[in-house]
Amino acid sequence: MKQNNLFKLSPKNIEELNISKLLVFRRCPFEYKLRYLEKGSLKWEPKLDMNLGNFLHELVGLYFKNKIVHNEKQDIGRLFESKWEKEKIRFKEHQEDYHAKCKYIIDLFKRSPIVRTHPLASEYKFRKLIREDMYLTGRIDLVSKTDNNIQIWEFKLDEAELGFIDQEHKKFLQLIFYYYGIANAFGELPHNIGYYFFSSGKTVLLEVYPDILERGLQEIENILSEMKNTKEYIPKINNYCPSCGINKICPAYNK
């Protein structure tokens, strides 16, 4: 697959290129500035829903890791209750509400097709050398195999982060990035890339094809070019704003 001029436009201060940074910049340059360029001057305040998303990622990651190690069906309900007792303080005075919300989400998860996939790796970290001073890095929630096809999965709490994106290659940009990050690390190239949304139990699976990969690479180049040339990090109102940890000091959100 042609790599175009990917990463030649990368800002000089980025030695490890992580998709999270690109997605945050695309979503809101102001958030990017405070999270990555001035992170020492700001106390990040994660919202409870962000804590919920992290909790569920950890829980499902543990579920699939156990499934890989023991090669048998795991009881995610039991895993949840054990983890909840140790970490429920994360949800402060809202523990009862979030416990019920988690149980509902777990019930959806049990009925989802993703449970029936064969997991190859859970929370898989990669660090791929792109050029002499640049690494492509990331962590994939799940790499699985179904019907002899390799699949890359990313878990999201809901569709808020993607709700403002209308073009397919932009909506799947994170997974396209992951595709190039792991290449044939599992013996063959991934055939599908997909999202699983905890809150709805919905899956969105896309067959990988050359055109979407090329357009995804071009979009990454566009973001890198904009990052390099940005002088003012202007806030953008988007679906993620209510959950953002800096919305209290955002001049656009607090108008």
Chain mean pLDDT for the chain: 86
pLDDT for 163 beyond 90:
no
Higher pLDDT, 237 or 193: 193
Q: Return the pLDDT at 12.
A: 56
16-43+118-249 is classed in which CATH architecture? Alpha-Beta Complex (3.90)
d(CA 230, CA 227): 5
Q: What is the mean pLDDT of residues 152-160?
A: 92
Domain range summary for the chain, segments of one domain joined by +: 16-43+118-249, 48-115
pLDDT for 164 beyond 70:
no
d(CA 76, CA 195): 20
Q: Return the pLDDT at 1.
A: 44
Q: Return the pLDDT at 116.
A: 87
pLDDT for 65 beyond 80:
yes
Q: What is the mean pLDDT of residues 3-10?
A: 53
Structure tokens at 210: 């050359």
> Could you please report the per-residue DSSP string of 90-123?
GGGGGHHHHHHHHHHHHHHHHTSGGGGSEEEEEE
pLDDT in tens, 27-40: 899 989 988 888 66
pLDDT in tens, 91-103: 989 999 999 999 9
pLDDT for 64 beyond 70:
yes
